[in-house]
Homo-oligomer: A and B are copies of this chain.
């Protein structure tokens, strides 16, 4: 069981009726409920809360932070971004979903713009598993098929992933690196593409399985007592 905080900018669900029908209480609530049922301890946080709901206390108590954003990346306060980035360096896991590819914490941690091509034309997507032994795909088959979704295309402006878990095929001719693992400091990061707000993708059992697996994978280990920023030290050996 991990302590998971699901963050959502929570805008489309309140401004667009079609989205509200799919996620009446917000994408964050749907994801949090799914992880709760799978045995995690969950809370949610949204853009309009003070400190976007990501106070030091909340972050300190979060093993894995899930991030969904799209319309308001620039509205996220830089102090909150600093706090999130610092917590990832210290071990907190970070799952970055769909259009959050361009969110501040992810681009800050990767050091690249994470840009891509896109199109909204209800295309079919097949996410092929390119790393079948990875714990993030526990219990899946060879691919996940999403009947209709937004399309993303390469080049995806990211550093080479440590492990590439999913690669998507789209009906209209694109491919995309849809499941990408990284490490920054002690923290693990996983980018997972599915999740456009106008489709009920987070209600799917297979997608929820990936999120559950990814939470378990991204949770911090104890690690070594060996880190403390830039600091002056005495020689450990005396020549």
A199 in the interface, Cβ–Cβ < 8 Å? no
A102 in the interface, Cβ–Cβ < 8 Å? yes
Q: Give the contact stretch, choosing among A7-15, A22-30, A184-192.
A: A184-192
A236 to B121, CA, bound (A): 13
Counting chain B CB atoms within 10 Å of each CB, the highest count among A111, A128, A235, A239 belongs to: A111
A119 to B232, CA, bound (A): 6
Let me know if B112 and A130 touch, CB within 8 A.
Answer: no
Let me know if B183 and A175 touch, CB within 8 A.
Answer: no
Let me know if A111 and B109 touch, CB within 8 A.
Answer: yes
CB distance from A150 to the nearest CB of B (A): 11
Main SS of the interface on chain A?
A: loop
Size range of the chain A interface in the assembly: 35 or more
CB distance from A237 to the nearest CB of B (A): 3
CB distance from A172 to the nearest CB of B (A): 3
Let me know if B102 and A133 touch, CB within 8 A.
Answer: no
Let me know if A113 and B89 touch, CB within 8 A.
Answer: yes
Among B157, B162, B225, B231, the residue within 8 A (CB) of A117 is B231
Among B116, B119, B182, B222, the residue within 8 A (CB) of A234 is B119
CB distance from A57 to the nearest CB of B (A): 22
Counting chain B CB atoms within 10 Å of each CB, the highest count among A112, A140, A173 belongs to: A173
Let me know if A142 and B177 touch, CB within 8 A.
Answer: no
Taking A128-B154, A164-B164 as contacts, is the C-beta distance between A236 and B118 under 8 angstroms?
Answer: no
List chain A positions with a Cβ less than 8 A from chain B.
Answer: 85, 89, 91, 102, 108-113, 115-119, 121, 123-124, 126, 128-135, 137-143, 151, 153-157, 159-160, 162-164, 167-175, 177, 182-187, 220-227, 229-239
Q: A135-B222, A169-B175 are in contact. List 11 more A-B contacts (CB 8 A).
A: A89-B112, A112-B185, A117-B232, A119-B235, A129-B226, A130-B155, A133-B187, A141-B226, A169-B173, A169-B174, A175-B175
